[in-house]
């Protein structure tokens, strides 16, 4: 390539203008040197994201926790922006732009600003850039840093992770188990992709969000509570191996117990408090009720209020606001405003209770937490005995069975040749002090 920029070379290969061949002898050494130099430059750019974020936070101010998390996604990035800015002005601390339906199954990343998403907006580097700039503007107006979230899970985890780092996103859904269980992505492919993408997130200071809340959409929230906790412990281990700090592990869980069940709130308290105590350094992401929302907006508003109360009492860090119109239609601006009002009231009035109330020793909450913890321990022992892939094949997560040779993307898993060279991975692993 004669030392040309990587982007130019990639475009040349894609168009057929550049003929690819494996270099030999002196050409190989020159190619290695040029690749390593390009990798060092790219890794430095990723690292700059964390420094830049801290600089903006010092300038405009940090949002107090818990961070109120709202979803925006019209399909048109130019319509998303004013909605996101309005949400921030009304109290949202984190804006998540949901991807267009099915993007996780695309084995490429769309390009440019997009206006044609379905039930979400395409994740592209230009869309990231536009929304980041818009949230920086409104953050300066309201006096607090507004965080931007998107979604890496799927067939393009590494690519979207890199785009997120370059455009200074702050959180990313990054959990290959979600892709395996709910998008039928091949487990070999996505575990490999997850490790690389989490190294990128680690260096960029991006908080990952994991998807354990999704388990409770297919499994019973009481019977499967231990699988959520087990997955969180596994996700913590995977994240540590990729160089992520615990302070950037937004482990997910959800308020999804059937509200007709006796002592539902007590059980939700037990589960949320157990997770809080198991991961004291993690910025836990708490998901609102969706599975049992019936379309009764008055009941739904109360249900979301109880979710907020449990979040306040157990010190959850990232609160994804529930919509009283869940399951009826895409939220109106007024629905989001009411959700913010609900959360502000509950967290403003009840957060101090967390340090005042204590659970009865040997009481129902403590016994339930101990039961879930023991079931989790037994499950993790079984996983250690048979291996992660076999555990997934046995349907131990989300009551869903997947096979190691099945799913989408296996054709992208190729054994390394003896001459294989990946200076980006090597540079990231050295920088983070982790194994490739």
Residue 408 known to be catalytic: no
Q: Which of 19-28, 254-263, 347-356 has the highest mean pLDDT?
A: 254-263
Residue 220 known to be catalytic: no
Expressed in percent and rounded to 5, the helix, strand and coil fractions of the chain are 55, 10, 35
DSSP class of 185? B
Q: pLDDT at residue 87 above 90?
A: yes
| Pairing of the two strands 249-250 and 252-254 | unpaired
The pLDDT value given to residue 3 = 67
The pLDDT value given to residue 143 = 98
Contact 376, 334 (CB under 8 A): no
Q: pLDDT at residue 126 above 60?
A: yes
What pLDDT, in 10s, does the model give residues 196-221? 999 999 999 999 999 999 999 889 99
Give the active site residue among 69, 178, 215, 303.
178
What radius of gyration, in Å, describes the C-alpha atoms of the chain?
Answer: 22
Question: Percentage of the chain with pLDDT > 70?
Answer: 99
Instruction: Indicate the domain borders of the chain.
Output: 56-431
Classify domain 56-431 by CATH architecture: Alpha-Beta Barrel (3.20)
Is 91 strand, coil or helix? Answer: coil
The pLDDT value given to residue 9 = 87
In whole numbers, what is the pLDDT of the chain averaged over residues?
95
Give the active site residue among 80, 175, 193, 213.
213
Can you tell me the distance from the alpha carbon of 16 to that of 282, in angstroms, rounded to the nearest whole number?
47
Give the active site residue among 93, 193, 285, 303.
285
Lateral strand order in the sheet of 67-72:
249-250, 207-209, 171-173, 147-151, 94-97, 67-72, 318-320, 285-287, 252-254
The pLDDT value given to residue 176 = 96
Average pLDDT over residues 70-93: 97
Average pLDDT over residues 245-258: 98
What pLDDT, in 10s, does the model give residues 304-334? 999 999 999 999 999 999 999 998 988 888 9
Is 287 strand, coil or helix? Answer: strand
Is 262 strand, coil or helix? Answer: coil
Residue (of 53, 62, 94, 142) closest to 319 by Cα position = 94
The pLDDT value given to residue 1 = 57
The pLDDT value given to residue 2 = 61
The pLDDT value given to residue 387 = 98
Residue (of 247, 185, 252, 174) closest to 214 by Cα position = 252
Q: pLDDT at residue 69 above 90?
A: yes
Q: Which of 33-42, 262-271, 417-426 has the highest mean pLDDT?
A: 262-271
Residue 178 known to be catalytic: yes
């Amino acid at each position: 390539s004669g030392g040309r920029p990587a982007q130019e070379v990639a475009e040349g290969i894609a168009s057929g203008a550049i003929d690819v061949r494996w270099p030999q002898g002196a050409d190989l050494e020159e190619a290695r040197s040029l690749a390593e130099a390009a990798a060092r430059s790219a890794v430095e750019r990723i690292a700059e994201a964390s420094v830049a974020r801290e600089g903006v936070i010092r300038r405009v101010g940090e949002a107090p926790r818990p961070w109120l998390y709202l979803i925006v996604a019209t399909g048109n990035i130019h319509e998303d922006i004013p909605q996101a800015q309005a949400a921030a002005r009304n109290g949202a601390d984190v804006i998540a732009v949901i991807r267009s339906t099915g993007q996780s199954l695309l084995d490429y990343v769309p390009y440019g600003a997009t206006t044609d998403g379905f039930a979400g907006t395409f994740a592209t580097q230009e869309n990231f850039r536009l929304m980041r700039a818009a949230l920086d503007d409104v953050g300066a107006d309201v006096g607090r840093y507004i965080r931007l979230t998107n979604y890496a899970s799927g067939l393009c985890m590494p690519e979207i992770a890199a785009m997120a780092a370059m455009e200074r996103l702050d959180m990313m859904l990054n959990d290959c188990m979600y892709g395996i269980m709910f998008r039928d992505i091949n487990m070999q492919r996505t575990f490999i992709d997850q490790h690389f993408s989490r190294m990128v997130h680690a260096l960029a200071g991006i908080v990952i969000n994991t998807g354990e809340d999704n388990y409770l959409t297919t499994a019973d929230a009481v019977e499967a509570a231990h699988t959520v906790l087990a997955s969180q412990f596994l996700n913590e281990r995977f994240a540590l191996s990729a160089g992520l700090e615990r302070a950037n592990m937004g482990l997910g869980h959800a308020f999804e117990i059937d509200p007709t069940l006796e002592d539902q709130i007590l059980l939700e308290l037990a589960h949320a408090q157990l997770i809080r105590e198991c991961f004291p350094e993690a910025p836990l992401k708490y998901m609102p009720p969706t599975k049992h929302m019936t379309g009764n907006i008055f009941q739904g508003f109360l249900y979301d209020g109880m979710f907020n109360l449990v979040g306040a009492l157990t010190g959850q860090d990232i609160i994804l606001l529930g919509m009283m119109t869940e399951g009826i239609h895409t939220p109106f601006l007024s629905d989001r405003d009411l959700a913010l009002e609900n959360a502000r009231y509950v967290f403003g009035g009840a957060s101090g209770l967390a340090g005042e109330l204590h659970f009865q020793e040997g009481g129902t909450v403590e016994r339930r937490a101990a039961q879930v913890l023991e079931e989790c321990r037994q499950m993790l022992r079984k996983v250690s005995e048979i291996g992660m892939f076999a555990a997934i094949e046995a349907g131990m997560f989300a009551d869903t069975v997947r096979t190691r040779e099945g799913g989408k993307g296996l054709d992208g898993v190729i054994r390394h040749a003896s001459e294989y060279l990946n200076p980006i991975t090597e540079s990231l692993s050295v920088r983070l002090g982790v194994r490739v």
